[in-house]
Amino acid sequence: APVIGVLALQGDVREHLVALAELDVLARPVRRASELAEVDGLVLPGGESTTMSRLLTVFDLFEPLRERIADGLPVLGSCAGMILLAREVLDGREDQRSLDALDIVVRRNAFGRQVDSFEATLDVAGLSDGPMRAVFIRAPWVESVGADVEVLATVPEVPEAGSAAGRIVAVRQGAVIATAFHPELVEGDRRVHEEFVRVVRER
Ligand code: GLN
């Protein structure tokens, strides 16, 4: 079975480990470069991207992680994880670093001007069995994508979404998938993690 790590510096690490444990993989927390070297795929959890950026530097993980992703390591990022994967972060902290693994510009806390947190039902490209429940918590959205980025989901036209309707909230580029929402928080629907495991197995 493939070994899938969850970056365990901060954030909702446990929820991702629980989600992965339901699939046919070996799920492990990753806190150091030696652990990173052993995984076939990595999840960057939700949490606080500014803190994770700082801890990646403090733990000497930023460069090793950037290099492994550049070498083709499959990665799934949710929320703060999406921010960490982006080429450019708007409304980030000045010293915030991102991995440039997705050719996207993200805006941090983008929904905040309308609503801090909300749930919606989304159609996600490539997932069978219908739309999925998506939980947004101080979420980013994707302002723009490069030519090689596939848009997997946008915010539906629902009152809770306000003027965020139509914004891009899930993307894929090669073996890197990111969602602005938290698939790890929706028990009973592991389709995003399953899709990620499929990508890992393909590599
Ligand atoms: N607002 C957080 C950040 O900027 C992300 C929120 C989340 O991951 N739930 O990193």
Q: Which amino acid is at 73?
A: L
Question: What dihedral angle (degrees, nearest 10) is formed by the CA atoms of 56, 82, 39, 65?
Answer: -40
Mutation to probe ligand 1, out of 9, 10, 12, 49 (largest number of atoms < 8 A from CB): 49
Q: What torsion do the CA atoms of 88, 94, 96, 97 make, to the nearest 10 degrees?
A: 50
Check residue 189 and give its pLDDT. 96
pTM exceeds 0.80 for this model: yes
Alpha carbon of residue 161 to chain centroid: 20
What is the domain-level CATH number for residue 61? 3.40.50.880
Whether 97 has a binding-site annotation, put simply, is no
* Residue 47 known to bind ligand: yes
Count of domains forming the chain: 1
Residues designated as active site: 79, 182, 184
Interval between CA 13 and ligand 1 midpoint (Å): 13
Per-block average pLDDT, block size 10, for the chain (203 residues)?
A: 97 97 97 97 98 97 98 98 98 96 97 79 94 95 98 91 91 98 95 98 94
**What pLDDT does residue 113 have?**
61
Q: Is 79 exposed, middle or buried (0-12, 13-18, 19+ CB in 10 A)?
A: buried
Alpha-carbon gap, residue 181 to 12, rounded angstroms: 12
Structural domain of 49: 3-202
Give the pLDDT confidence score for residue 66 in this predicted structure: 98
pLDDT at site 158: 83
Position 83 scores a pLDDT of: 98
Say how many Å lie between the CA of residue 46 and the centre of ligand 1. Answer: 6
